[in-house]
Amino acid sequence: MTDGFSRREWLAAVGAATTGAAAGCASQSGPPVDADVDRGGADSGSGGSTEQTIPPGVAQFRGSLERWGYFPDETVPDAVEEAWRIPEVNTGEHRAAKASAVPHPDGGVLLPGDTGDLLWITADGDVRWRGETDADGRGIHGTPAVADGRAYIGAYDGVLYAFALDSGELEWSTDLGDAIGSSPLYYGGELYVSVEFYDPEGRLFAVDAETGDVTWEEPEHRPTDHPHSSPAISLDAGRMVCGSNDGYLYCWSFPDLEFQWRFATDPPSENNGEIKGPIATYDGAAFFGSWDFNVYRVDLETGEEDWHYETGNLSMTGPAIDPERDVVYMGSHDYHLYALDASTGEVEWRFRTGAPLTGCATVAGDRVLTGSKDSTLYALEADSGEEVWRVDHDGWVTSAPRVVDGDVYYAERAPDPDDGNTDGGGYKLVSAE
């Protein structure tokens, strides 16, 4: 367990503080932040609202509670070569973004696949163990959260699983609904995850990471309509947000989890404004893309739009945030990766690939990594969008790349499952210099 407060511990502390205030003591004014969490980023002087939060001993999708996909201490090589390829990580035809890798504390990475397996792959490319779920068909599309000696992952059977990091043995599983396509968010000993139901409805849950017991479930079945989106937290704003296929961004206070507001996208007639990708929180706002062709910045306190930028097609990727440059990187089905000024929404640069972008970009040091359905992984200069290198594949590159000690890990979708070509692999690239 981390040294931070859980939601329940915070609520108890607030209750005690309020009682003390009535007797002349000072009350606590907001949710506490772990004293030893990594708060990497540029400090704007406004309560740390432009810093990310990485709880100690935790690795998860996009790195932080805010889901930035920002790794300032990592370096992307000037040239790369393939160190290894693990076959048949992804074998299905589902077109959504594939799962991403996260570091294993004993080296290498954990990488899920749409086969329904979670793999621990060593730095040398050996598969140390496979954690099997009961999901068939679409398997796993979310990315695990790693903490407390376990890997936590949801699957398309609607079950949240906890696997032992050392052995891959199943420690517990909790049936939450009909499908989980999102990535769980770990903080203070609890997991926050959006779950799909066939009605169609959805629901956000909090689950005890030690036992698998449900500690909270959204009483009004929010978010509705098959939420694929992964939630994000802003400790500074005291907010948690999650998107959904119904075209709304939903917001709760955090950690007490009282519903605050929902923000509606503005879909053109041929789309319904679906919010498929993960949300990022930064500088008091939520950033996300929508099927209404727009990228949005929405104020976390009020739920009001700060700005939107219209791309040439739908956007189902999640944002990557660079606080040093104050830039948000977003992909679109119009084949472009956009670098947008986070404060104004103005375009800093755009980079064109050969097909739609579905997976999230990653910022590592001074470079941005992004995959495309043109079967290519690109490395770009963060300041200019100039291409540094590209690596071509047989399958679509839709998992978010993860850089660990200068090495690049990611996965591809199977090239053409309809033709029996089901070999979508997992990769490690290393410096070619």
pLDDT at 312 over 70: yes
Q: What is the mean pLDDT of the chain?
A: 88
Tell how strand 367-372 and strand 376-381 pair up.
antiparallel
pLDDT score at 97? 85
Is the Cα dihedral 259, 6, 161, 88 positive or negative?
positive
Calculate the CA dihedral of residues 404, 405, 406, 408 and round it to 10 degrees. -20
pLDDT at 389 over 90: yes
pLDDT at 164 over 90: yes
pLDDT at 17 over 80: no
208 contacts 217 by C-beta, under 8 angstroms = no
| pTM of the predicted model as reported, rounded to 2 decimal places | 0.90
115 contacts 108 by C-beta, under 8 angstroms = no
385 contacts 352 by C-beta, under 8 angstroms = no
Is the Cα dihedral 172, 174, 175, 179 positive or negative?
negative
57 contacts 165 by C-beta, under 8 angstroms = no
**Tokens representing residue 374 in the block:** 């043109």
List pLDDT tens digits, range 328-352: 999 999 999 999 999 999 999 999 9
pLDDT score at 18? 33
List pLDDT tens digits, range 54-83: 999 999 999 999 999 999 999 999 999 999
User: Which contiguous run of DSSP H or E holds residue 286?
Assistant: strand 285-289
Highest-confidence segment of 25-34, 87-96, 364-373: 364-373
Q: Where are the beta strands (DSSP E) in 291-406?
A: 294-299, 305-310, 320-322, 327-331, 336-341, 347-352, 362-364, 367-372, 376-381, 387-392, 402-404
pLDDT score at 419? 80
Is the Cα dihedral 76, 81, 84, 85 positive or negative?
positive
pLDDT at 237 over 60: yes
pLDDT at 370 over 50: yes
pLDDT confidence band for 45 (50 / 70 / 90): very low
pLDDT at 251 over 90: yes
The C-alpha atoms of residue 306 and residue 310 are separated, in whole angstroms, by 14
